[in-house]
Amino acid sequence: MRDADRNIIFDCAVNLANTITEQCDALVELCDYIDERVPISRRIASFESNADESFHNLGFYFLEHKLMSDPDAVALLEVVKALEQITDCFEELANSFVRYNVTTSGELLSECSTALYGASRMTQDIVIYLRDKAPSSLILRDVASLDKYKSKYCKYYDDAILELFSGNIDAVELIRSKAIYDAFKVLFESFETLSEKCYLFIISYY
């Protein structure tokens, strides 16, 4: 992989990582100001559209420069794909707040949004570390930490689902709450996928 190709790929990766932090900031705002969920969800969707455009442009670059035959470039592309998938999941979560007409934001949602804030910032750091060729031990430490966010959320999720199905909660509220918890879970799983792709890239091509 030429330095010029590497720079182009990392430009896209950094752009996507920045988009993730912007989406996360907007999601935290949505949880704090739930009555503004519709305009905020649209803003999160607009961030995702920009991420799609950036990723598609990178795909055209790969085709033009025949990079799919370059294993180093393809491995790095897998990291970028994982970043783009996170932006999709943020959009889907925001849309779920609107789709299921969520009008209240409890302690669990605040805890989840706080965890996502940490994961998004760590993602941004990892991408910069990879771009700048930081020591592998430093990157692997943060990659391992990023992976733990999903495990932590799964504990929240299990407790929340058990509580939902243990009480006499209204059926509509049960469906609404479970849909939001599931969307959060998918988003945390997308960060887990990113950590896996980063780990494979580091041990194979770093």
List, as one string, the DSSP characters of 52-109: HHHHHHHHHHHHHTTGGG-HHHHHHHHHHHHHHHHHHHHHHHHHHHHHTT-----HHH
94 in Cβ contact with 44 (< 8 Å) = yes
Please give the structure tokens belonging to residue 135: 């020591």
Please give the structure tokens belonging to residue 52: 């799609």
Render 108-174 in DSSP notation, one character per residue: HHHHHHHHHHHHHHHHHHHHHHHHTT--HHHHHHHHHHHHHHHHHHHHHHHHHHHHHTTS---HHHH
pTM of the model: 0.94
Report the mean per-residue pLDDT for the chain: 93
User: Which domains, from first to last, does the chain contain?
Assistant: 3-205 (1.20.58.220)
pLDDT, position 123: 97
Q: CA neighbours within 13 Å on the CB side: how many for 96?
A: 21
Give the span between the Cα atoms of 156 and 45, in whole angstroms. 26
Radius of gyration of the chain (CA): 18
CB burial string 22-34: b at 16+ within 10 A, e below: bbbbbbbbbbeee
pLDDT surpassing 90 at residue 131: yes
Q: What pLDDT digit, counting tens, does each position of 58-115 carry?
A: 999 999 999 999 999 999 999 999 999 999 999 999 999 999 999 987 777 888 888 9
